[in-house]
A and B are shown apart, each in its own frame.
Chain A
Amino acid sequence: MYVAAKGGEKAIANAHRFLAEKRRGNPQLPEMSVEQIREQLGLAVDRVMAEGSLYDRNLAALAVKQAQGDLVEAAFLLRAYRTTLPRFSPSPVVDTGSMRVLRRISAAYKDLPGGQVLGPTYDYSHRLLDFSLMEPEAFAANVVYLVDKMIALPSRIPRLTEIVGSDDLVETPQEEPDQDPPVPDITEEPLEFPASRSARLQALARGDEGFLLGLAYSAQRGFGFQGHPFVGEIRMGYVPVEVELPGEDVKVRIGSILVTECTMLSRAEETGGCPFGFVQGYGLVFGANERKAMAMALVDRALRSRELGEEVRYPAQDEEYVLRHCDNVESSGFVQHLKLPHYVDFQAELVHVRRRDVKKSQGADDQGPSSVGSAGEG
């Protein structure tokens, strides 16, 4: 009876065995490989990379497999692994203008240099269940990838802000002055408030997609900044990553990563004294992750309210509220820690509550602390 209330090492080991069985499912069916997940559940892998804050498709796919497709759990696995990795150095800022784009659209301009490229999108698909996918197709030997048939795009497609940023119409991002280091790493330096914009963007980039989506939506519905946001530009594709060799002025390209970038434009409140017609909200996320990039850009815009002299009234505009609650490794851990035993604290409350009831029923004055336990003898 006493032991039953507490769990032992054996119980935990058994729980893990049970979990492994559930993960495998019906052993009659072939086991899914990490490569299959990487290739066929690409968007799940992308989300896990973004929220796990580590660009590694194989490890993210492994995390998805290990977590039985629970993407928040998978992101956690990836983060815990990331912790142990040695950090070499920050890369120079990636140039998304030199992105090899798979998709690039603007909702603000009908046409712009580089053109609109629809790319792989669900946007205009009819959401009808495709029953043909129930039957696995045979492997097509002579498949021709659409990517290879694409018309060659210019090697560098300028970003929207490069195109229209020359006048005061659209704000061009400024480097933050007097910051050391110029871009803080929120995994190396604790996030404190008020946070710099780059620290804020890092937190958002690894923030929970669902949480940011809800906040972005709330801002759009009036619980945030005033004025209609416009998608200045969304682009998705591969950007080269470089490192600087220490001691030498040489940059070496180490590979390229798939990212989604969103620039959201909106008016700033004129009373705030902002000199620009439109200000930016910015989103940049690992992988093909358009919903997240857009939500991030909207929340970034809402969080700029204080700096733009707008009234800060709603959660989406409140830096501490957003940044302290957007990380799903943190929030999931703390919400779920309520499952841990709290016997001791519950007992302390019980003693207090019982004593209150005794006091009420007896209508007596202070009974002194030693009478507390008698209430618990019932």
Chain B
Amino acid sequence: MSRTPGLTVPNRSTEGGYARGGALKGLPGYNFAFLDEVTKRMIRRTLLKAVAIPGHQIPFASREMPLPYGWGTGGIQITASIIGPDDVLKVIDQGADDTTNAVSIRSFFRKTAGVATTTRTGEATVIQTRHRIPEQPLREDQILVYQVPIPEPLRFIEPREEECGKVHAWADYGIMYVKLYEDVARTGRIATTFDYPVVVNGRYVMSPSPIPKFDTPKMHRMPALQLFGAGREKRIYAVPPYTDVKPLDFEDVPFEIERWSRCCALCGATEHYLDEIVTDDVGGRRFVCSDSDACAQRRAKAARDLSGNS
């Protein structure tokens, strides 16, 4: 509320937390990793609750961030709350490290927390992602932070929060199956292709965020901790390591994932999720890995093998 008549730049000392002692690099005038320590504690408390009730959405007092809502503010707040000076951060969007928003978020943390960043999945301790799970299996010492636009898996079936809350509380999920039933009745199979609803730990139905269903099986009993942040919708939820994550399906119409008969045009992978690239205006197409790191690793390995053989 200060009114500075001389229009000076606000001069605020950094708070406690990691910034204490001034040993850390960060943005002048801001706390380590942007958020103040009180907010970080609030978010960490929410995370603990989320881990204790796998798949259950916990409301939290989401802050306005310097990036717009819908652009990963939930994930950014979680990352800001858990990241320490020794962490190595990887940020991907659509599987790639070099997409504009991934670049922007990575540089935000470099600027405000001065942490090391990487594009290598294996080297990262914290991976913030939008819409993909890395192809390379994650380990126990890694944390995967998802950016979530709509945390409520029931939203397009029942828009009202009050009603959704009751459905979750009573595990009264019949209406979710009505939607699946309609899909199968109309198209012969389940039409949901991304953000495929899952049951976590046999209890809560959860949105896995808009990852393609190709990635859904990777969540099942993943060794890494999975944290989900929805900034605009003000919800946090989690899947602890080695927790059951099962996609909703019918006994006789099982869940299935996308497959390509083509391989990646760059690395030749057939088991990765592929992006389609339009190469000309007469229907030319190429397929390349959406996970830029997995693609690069595979190419590097191929090059090594080749030189080793010769």
Contacts and interface: CB of A to CB of B under 8 A. Distances in A.
Do any beta carbons of A and B sit within 8 angstroms of each other in the complex?
Answer: yes
Given A12-B104, A55-B1, A370-B261, A7 B61 contact: no
A121 interface: no
Nearest to B58: A190
Contact of A340 (B4, B71, B187, B262): B71
B28 to A, nearest CB: 12
Interface centre among B30, B257, B260, by most chain A C-beta atoms within 10 angstroms, is B260
Describe B's contact surface by its main secondary structure.
loop
A369 B258 contact: yes
A334 B155 CA distance: 15
Given A336-B70, A345-B210, A352-B193, A370 B259 contact: yes
Contacts of B130: 340
B189 A366 contact: yes
A135 interface: no
A320 to B, nearest CB: 6
A347 B274 contact: yes
Interface in B229-273: 232, 234, 256-262, 266, 273
A352 B196 CA distance: 13
A7 B99 contact: yes
| Pairs of residues from A and B, 4 with the lowest C-beta to C-beta distance, nearest first | A333-B69, A337-B70, A373-B260, A333-B68
Interface of A: 1-3, 5-9, 11-12, 34-35, 55-59, 76, 79-80, 82-84, 86, 187-194, 241, 254-255, 320, 324, 329-330, 332-337, 340-345, 347-352, 356, 359, 366, 369-374, 376-378
A80 to B, nearest CB: 4
Nearest to B213: A348
B287 A190 contact: no
Interface string B108-136: 00000000000000000000001110000
30 contacts: A2-B266, A7-B98, A8-B103, A9-B107, A11-B100, A83-B63, A84-B30, A187-B61, A191-B234, A333-B69, A334-B69, A335-B70, A337-B70, A337-B149, A340-B71, A340-B93, A340-B101, A340-B130, A341-B99, A344-B212, A344-B275, A345-B210, A347-B212, A347-B275, A350-B276, A366-B188, A372-B261, A373-B274, A376-B262, A378-B285
Contacts of A329: 64, 68-69
A111 B146 CA distance: 60
B65 A80 contact: yes
A72 to B, nearest CB: 11
B194 interface: yes
A333 B214 CA distance: 28
A155 to B, nearest CB: 24
B162 interface: yes
B212 A343 contact: no
Nearest to B291: A344
A255 B3 contact: yes
B103 A7 contact: yes
Given A9-B103, A344-B131, 7 more contacts: A1-B277, A84-B30, A189-B61, A337-B149, A340-B71, A341-B101, A372-B258
Interface centre among A58, A189, A193, A332, by most chain B C-beta atoms within 10 angstroms, is A58
Contact of A193 (B63, B162, B288): B162
B261 A374 contact: yes
Contacts of B149: 334, 337
B71 A192 contact: no
A57 B3 contact: yes
A247 B188 CA distance: 69
A348 B215 CA distance: 11
Contact of A369 (B1, B162, B257): B257
Contacts of B211: 344
Contacts of A341: 93-94, 99-101
A42 B82 CA distance: 41
B310 interface: no
A7 B96 CA distance: 10
A5 B286 CA distance: 13
